[in-house]
A and B are shown apart, each in its own frame.
Chain A
């Protein structure tokens, strides 16, 4: 299985901050990396697919980079609605696997 490692596991930030989350794959997965946002009690939401493609309807303050083994999700000018848990997921080969999540909290 491809192992996905996210860092940090949690972070504290303020509205307006720039936030960066890193996801590392245990092998080269090309651009086959997706990012999700999850808020308690709600369905997880796809933010970015194929490393850097913004899902329709998602704010442009979210961006992603890759490809290879190291990927980043950047949130520019953090907004109140962005406090949530973020997961990366490799879509390269089954079993599809996720990072352990990064919780973004209010400082």
Chain B
């Protein structure tokens, strides 16, 4: 059973960089069958896909965040990471990591981590 666990600071100051890590157990992020992704849930309930990374290191970013976003992976530690720069209060959200599965062109997220709350505040 693949399990994902997010970690990182819960409080980030405006204009700083938000950095989170997703540790994966029960499976290798090197598996070519999957992407690995970040998603966030805003206080008003809406969900937003942030971006994904494939085992070859290729990335796909949400265009709305592309200029501030960097997703990387550490295959030796079996984890992947999110860096979001120049944060504002609008980046306050519950951040999830998840595995992306794709079959016949359909992409879905399963499983997800429990999520970690990040608050942007001075």
A residues sitting closer than 8 Å to B (CB atoms) are 31-32, 34, 36, 41-46, 49-50, 55, 85, 87, 89, 91-92, 94-98, 100-101
Contacts and interface: CB of A to CB of B under 8 A. Distances in A.
Interface of B is mostly: strand
B47 A91 contact: no
At the interface, is chain A mostly helix, strand, loop or mixed? loop
Interface stretch (B15-23, B24-32, B58-66, B78-86): B58-66
B112 A98 contact: no
A32 B105 contact: yes
Chain B CB within 10 A, most for which of A31, A46, A91, A96: A96
Contact of A87 (B47, B60, B102): B47
Contacts of A89: 47, 108-109
Interface residues of B, number: 25
B49 A96 contact: yes
Interface of B: 45-49, 60, 62-64, 96, 101-115
Given A44-B96, A49-B103, A96-B107, 16 more contacts: A32-B107, A34-B109, A36-B109, A43-B112, A43-B115, A45-B111, A46-B108, A46-B110, A46-B111, A49-B110, A50-B103, A89-B109, A92-B105, A94-B49, A98-B46, A98-B48
